Amino acid sequence: MRLIQLSDIHFGGENAEAVAAAGAWIRAAAPDLVVVAGDLTLDGRACEFDAAAAWLETLPRPMIVTPGNHDTPFVGPGELWERFTRPWRRFCDRFGAEDGARWRGPGVTLTTLNTARAAQLRLNWSKGAVGQDQIRRVVDELEAAPAGDLRIVVCHHPLMEILGGPMTARVHGGVGAAKQFVKAGADVILSGHIHLPFVTPLPFGDGRTQAIGSGTLSQRERGAAPGFNVIEIAPGYVRVTAMAYAHGDFEAWRTWAVDRRP
Protein backbone atom coordinates (compact mmCIF):
# COMPACT_ATOMS: atom_id res chain seq x y z
CA MET A 1 0.00 0.00 0.00
CA ARG A 2 1.20 3.49 -0.79
CA LEU A 3 0.15 6.67 1.04
CA ILE A 4 0.86 10.31 0.25
CA GLN A 5 1.38 12.54 3.32
CA LEU A 6 0.88 16.28 2.81
CA SER A 7 0.80 19.12 5.31
CA ASP A 8 1.31 22.86 5.65
CA ILE A 9 0.22 23.84 2.16
CA HIS A 10 -0.91 27.22 3.51
CA PHE A 11 -3.15 28.39 0.68
CA GLY A 12 -2.86 32.16 0.71
CA GLY A 13 0.90 31.73 0.99
CA GLU A 14 1.40 28.58 -1.05
CA ASN A 15 4.25 27.93 -3.46
CA ALA A 16 2.06 27.91 -6.55
CA GLU A 17 4.55 26.13 -8.79
CA ALA A 18 5.23 23.41 -6.23
CA VAL A 19 1.51 22.92 -5.55
CA ALA A 20 0.76 22.49 -9.26
CA ALA A 21 3.66 20.07 -9.71
CA ALA A 22 2.65 18.12 -6.59
CA GLY A 23 -0.87 17.73 -7.91
CA ALA A 24 0.38 16.31 -11.19
CA TRP A 25 2.83 13.97 -9.42
CA ILE A 26 0.23 12.63 -7.00
CA ARG A 27 -2.37 12.06 -9.72
CA ALA A 28 0.16 10.10 -11.75
CA ALA A 29 1.20 8.06 -8.69
CA ALA A 30 -2.41 7.02 -7.94
CA PRO A 31 -1.81 6.30 -4.23
CA ASP A 32 -4.11 4.16 -2.09
CA LEU A 33 -4.71 7.05 0.32
CA VAL A 34 -3.91 10.77 0.54
CA VAL A 35 -3.40 12.14 4.06
CA VAL A 36 -3.38 15.90 4.72
CA ALA A 37 -2.01 16.69 8.20
CA GLY A 38 -3.20 20.24 8.73
CA ASP A 39 -2.49 23.88 7.93
CA LEU A 40 -4.28 23.91 4.62
CA THR A 41 -4.60 27.71 4.87
CA LEU A 42 -2.48 30.65 5.93
CA ASP A 43 -5.04 32.78 7.80
CA GLY A 44 -8.13 30.59 7.88
CA ARG A 45 -9.96 32.81 5.38
CA ALA A 46 -12.92 31.43 3.44
CA CYS A 47 -11.20 32.12 0.12
CA GLU A 48 -8.15 30.18 1.28
CA PHE A 49 -10.30 27.22 2.27
CA ASP A 50 -12.01 27.40 -1.12
CA ALA A 51 -8.64 27.28 -2.87
CA ALA A 52 -7.52 24.34 -0.71
CA ALA A 53 -10.75 22.43 -1.37
CA ALA A 54 -10.54 23.08 -5.12
CA TRP A 55 -6.97 21.74 -5.28
CA LEU A 56 -7.62 18.73 -3.08
CA GLU A 57 -10.63 17.89 -5.23
CA THR A 58 -8.21 17.23 -8.11
CA LEU A 59 -6.30 14.59 -6.13
CA PRO A 60 -7.08 10.87 -5.95
CA ARG A 61 -9.48 9.45 -3.39
CA PRO A 62 -9.76 8.22 -0.68
CA MET A 63 -8.49 11.17 1.35
CA ILE A 64 -8.24 11.98 5.06
CA VAL A 65 -7.83 15.61 6.20
CA THR A 66 -7.19 17.00 9.68
CA PRO A 67 -6.84 20.71 10.59
CA GLY A 68 -3.87 22.65 11.88
CA ASN A 69 -3.42 25.76 13.96
CA HIS A 70 -3.71 28.01 10.88
CA ASP A 71 -7.08 26.52 9.91
CA THR A 72 -9.27 28.70 12.08
CA PRO A 73 -9.93 32.41 11.40
CA PHE A 74 -7.76 34.94 13.20
CA VAL A 75 -7.30 38.08 11.08
CA GLY A 76 -9.73 40.98 11.72
CA PRO A 77 -12.57 41.49 14.24
CA GLY A 78 -15.15 39.49 12.27
CA GLU A 79 -12.69 36.64 11.81
CA LEU A 80 -11.87 36.58 15.52
CA TRP A 81 -15.58 36.36 16.37
CA GLU A 82 -15.84 33.31 14.13
CA ARG A 83 -12.71 31.86 15.73
CA PHE A 84 -14.22 32.00 19.21
CA THR A 85 -17.76 30.94 18.28
CA ARG A 86 -17.36 28.48 15.38
CA PRO A 87 -13.62 27.83 14.97
CA TRP A 88 -13.87 24.76 12.73
CA ARG A 89 -16.98 25.59 10.68
CA ARG A 90 -15.06 26.51 7.53
CA PHE A 91 -12.95 23.38 7.77
CA CYS A 92 -15.90 21.07 8.49
CA ASP A 93 -18.04 22.52 5.69
CA ARG A 94 -15.39 21.46 3.18
CA PHE A 95 -13.57 18.47 4.66
CA GLY A 96 -15.80 16.85 7.28
CA ALA A 97 -15.18 16.28 10.97
CA GLU A 98 -12.22 18.16 12.46
CA ASP A 99 -11.50 15.33 14.91
CA GLY A 100 -11.89 11.58 14.90
CA ALA A 101 -12.07 10.88 11.16
CA ARG A 102 -11.42 7.20 10.45
CA TRP A 103 -10.27 5.10 7.52
CA ARG A 104 -9.52 1.43 7.06
CA GLY A 105 -7.90 -0.21 4.07
CA PRO A 106 -6.33 -3.63 3.57
CA GLY A 107 -4.02 -4.06 6.56
CA VAL A 108 -4.25 -0.43 7.72
CA THR A 109 -6.35 1.26 10.43
CA LEU A 110 -6.13 5.07 10.64
CA THR A 111 -7.69 7.72 12.89
CA THR A 112 -7.22 11.48 13.16
CA LEU A 113 -6.56 13.64 16.21
CA ASN A 114 -7.10 17.41 16.18
CA THR A 115 -4.23 18.94 18.16
CA ALA A 116 -5.04 22.54 17.14
CA ARG A 117 -7.00 24.87 19.42
CA ALA A 118 -8.93 28.08 18.78
CA ALA A 119 -7.66 29.52 22.08
CA GLN A 120 -5.57 28.39 25.03
CA LEU A 121 -4.49 29.61 28.47
CA ARG A 122 -1.07 30.62 27.10
CA LEU A 123 0.12 33.38 24.83
CA ASN A 124 1.07 31.26 21.84
CA TRP A 125 -2.12 29.63 20.57
CA SER A 126 -0.29 28.07 17.63
CA LYS A 127 1.06 25.30 19.84
CA GLY A 128 -0.77 22.02 20.23
CA ALA A 129 -2.90 20.33 22.87
CA VAL A 130 -4.47 16.92 23.42
CA GLY A 131 -7.45 16.30 25.68
CA GLN A 132 -8.07 13.23 27.81
CA ASP A 133 -11.26 12.41 25.93
CA GLN A 134 -9.30 12.48 22.69
CA ILE A 135 -6.65 10.18 24.12
CA ARG A 136 -9.27 7.68 25.28
CA ARG A 137 -10.98 7.69 21.90
CA VAL A 138 -7.76 7.12 19.97
CA VAL A 139 -6.66 4.37 22.36
CA ASP A 140 -10.01 2.60 21.94
CA GLU A 141 -9.71 2.75 18.15
CA LEU A 142 -6.12 1.51 18.15
CA GLU A 143 -6.96 -1.38 20.44
CA ALA A 144 -9.98 -2.33 18.32
CA ALA A 145 -7.94 -2.54 15.10
CA PRO A 146 -7.70 -6.02 13.55
CA ALA A 147 -4.60 -8.00 14.45
CA GLY A 148 -1.79 -7.35 12.02
CA ASP A 149 -3.07 -3.96 10.85
CA LEU A 150 -0.63 -1.07 10.70
CA ARG A 151 -2.14 1.39 13.19
CA ILE A 152 -1.81 5.05 12.17
CA VAL A 153 -2.68 8.26 14.03
CA VAL A 154 -2.77 11.53 12.07
CA CYS A 155 -2.42 14.89 13.82
CA HIS A 156 -0.97 18.28 12.94
CA HIS A 157 1.53 18.86 15.76
CA PRO A 158 4.29 16.35 16.57
CA LEU A 159 3.32 14.99 19.98
CA MET A 160 6.94 15.29 21.15
CA GLU A 161 9.63 17.79 20.24
CA ILE A 162 11.77 16.81 17.26
CA LEU A 163 15.50 16.96 17.95
CA GLY A 164 17.04 19.63 15.75
CA GLY A 165 13.68 20.77 14.42
CA PRO A 166 13.36 24.40 13.22
CA MET A 167 10.43 25.13 15.55
CA THR A 168 8.59 23.69 18.54
CA ALA A 169 5.12 22.15 18.91
CA ARG A 170 4.93 22.19 22.75
CA VAL A 171 1.82 20.04 22.77
CA HIS A 172 0.00 20.14 26.12
CA GLY A 173 -0.56 16.49 26.99
CA GLY A 174 1.48 15.35 24.00
CA VAL A 175 4.00 13.16 25.82
CA GLY A 176 1.27 11.47 27.83
CA ALA A 177 -0.73 10.89 24.66
CA ALA A 178 2.30 9.44 22.89
CA LYS A 179 2.89 7.00 25.76
CA GLN A 180 -0.74 5.87 25.70
CA PHE A 181 -0.78 5.47 21.92
CA VAL A 182 2.39 3.37 22.01
CA LYS A 183 0.88 1.18 24.72
CA ALA A 184 -2.26 0.76 22.59
CA GLY A 185 -0.19 -0.45 19.63
CA ALA A 186 0.23 2.63 17.42
CA ASP A 187 2.77 1.96 14.70
CA VAL A 188 2.94 5.36 13.02
CA ILE A 189 2.01 8.91 14.05
CA LEU A 190 1.85 11.28 11.07
CA SER A 191 2.15 15.03 11.60
CA GLY A 192 3.20 18.32 10.04
CA HIS A 193 3.68 21.78 11.58
CA ILE A 194 7.46 22.13 11.56
CA HIS A 195 7.74 22.30 7.72
CA LEU A 196 10.57 19.76 7.66
CA PRO A 197 10.32 16.03 6.89
CA PHE A 198 11.50 13.61 9.57
CA VAL A 199 11.20 10.02 10.77
CA THR A 200 12.07 9.22 14.38
CA PRO A 201 11.07 6.48 16.84
CA LEU A 202 9.17 7.42 19.98
CA PRO A 203 11.24 6.54 23.07
CA PHE A 204 8.58 4.38 24.69
CA GLY A 205 7.67 0.70 24.72
CA ASP A 206 9.58 -1.35 22.18
CA GLY A 207 10.78 1.72 20.25
CA ARG A 208 8.93 0.62 17.10
CA THR A 209 6.37 3.45 16.99
CA GLN A 210 7.55 5.95 14.40
CA ALA A 211 6.79 9.68 14.35
CA ILE A 212 6.74 10.81 10.71
CA GLY A 213 6.53 14.45 9.66
CA SER A 214 6.02 15.90 6.20
CA GLY A 215 7.35 19.14 4.77
CA THR A 216 5.50 22.14 3.36
CA LEU A 217 4.19 23.21 -0.03
CA SER A 218 4.15 26.85 1.06
CA GLN A 219 6.60 29.70 0.78
CA ARG A 220 7.34 29.32 4.51
CA GLU A 221 10.35 27.04 4.07
CA ARG A 222 12.47 26.14 7.09
CA GLY A 223 15.57 24.44 5.76
CA ALA A 224 14.09 22.13 3.13
CA ALA A 225 12.58 22.59 -0.31
CA PRO A 226 8.79 22.34 -0.70
CA GLY A 227 7.76 18.72 -0.52
CA PHE A 228 5.61 15.85 0.72
CA ASN A 229 6.10 12.24 1.81
CA VAL A 230 5.48 8.97 0.00
CA ILE A 231 4.88 6.17 2.50
CA GLU A 232 5.09 2.56 1.30
CA ILE A 233 3.66 -0.09 3.62
CA ALA A 234 4.86 -3.67 3.25
CA PRO A 235 4.39 -6.70 5.52
CA GLY A 236 7.78 -6.29 7.21
CA TYR A 237 8.65 -2.63 6.90
CA VAL A 238 7.53 0.93 6.25
CA ARG A 239 9.51 3.05 3.79
CA VAL A 240 9.20 6.85 3.82
CA THR A 241 10.53 8.96 0.95
CA ALA A 242 10.58 12.74 1.37
CA MET A 243 10.00 14.27 -2.05
CA ALA A 244 11.49 17.72 -2.75
CA TYR A 245 10.60 20.26 -5.42
CA ALA A 246 13.43 21.15 -7.81
CA HIS A 247 13.62 22.25 -11.43
CA GLY A 248 9.88 22.06 -11.99
CA ASP A 249 9.37 18.55 -10.63
CA PHE A 250 9.72 16.41 -7.52
CA GLU A 251 12.62 14.13 -6.76
CA ALA A 252 13.53 11.94 -3.79
CA TRP A 253 15.38 14.00 -1.17
CA ARG A 254 15.74 11.43 1.60
CA THR A 255 14.47 7.92 2.34
CA TRP A 256 13.99 6.06 5.63
CA ALA A 257 13.09 2.37 6.02
CA VAL A 258 11.93 1.07 9.39
CA ASP A 259 11.00 -2.43 10.50
CA ARG A 260 7.44 -3.16 11.56
CA ARG A 261 6.56 -5.03 14.71
CA PRO A 262 6.58 -8.79 14.19
pLDDT tens profile 191-227? 999 999 999 999 999 999 999 999 999 999 988 999 9
CA dist 146 and 109 (Å) reads 8
pLDDT value of position 179: 98
Per-residue confidence at 164, pLDDT binned at 50, 70, 90?
confident
pTM of the model: 0.95
Q: Examine the pLDDT at 165 and tell me if it is beyond 90.
A: no
Strands 150-155 and 198-201: unpaired
Across the range 104-116, mean pLDDT stands at: 97
Q: What is d(CA 101, CA 108) in angstroms, rounded to the nearest whole number?
A: 14
Better-scored residue on pLDDT, 238 or 119 = 238
pLDDT tens for 67-105 read 999 999 987 667 877 888 889 999 999 999 999 999 999
Q: In 3-state terms, what secondary structure has residue 92?
A: helix
Cα–Cα dist 124/94, whole Å: 27
> What value does the mean pLDDT of the chain take?
95
